[in-house]
Amino acid sequence: MVNLNSIKAELQRMRCAEHNQAAKIRVAGDTLHFECCCEAFKTKLDSKLKTLMANAVKDSIDKEFKRIFK
């Protein structure tokens, strides 16, 4: 299972290069919602989110396979 709170914490550490503001991020069920100061920062967050989710899913799958095929 992917821990969205850890991904949220990672994304909240990022700041907009232009406005020096962090995004407001909330977890709602199995999705993340965020509000940003500008579209450029939102695009950057989307890109980082995709990377973090891909890594989290890969780690989750690897963990399950290790558990199953001990």
Confidence of residue 2 (pLDDT cuts 50, 70, 90): confident
55 φ, ψ (degrees, to nearest 5) = -65, -40
> Residue 42 is encoded by which pair of tokens?
């939102």
SS3 at position 56? helix
Q: What is the pTM of this model?
A: 0.85
Give Cα separations from 31 to 18, 38, 51, 58, 69 (angstroms). Answer: 27, 21, 15, 18, 30
For 53-69, letters b (16+ CB in 10 Å) and e give eeebeeeeeeeeeeeee
What is residue 60's predicted lDDT score, i.e. its pLDDT? 92
The tens digit of pLDDT for each residue in 32-58 reads 999 999 999 999 999 999 999 999 999
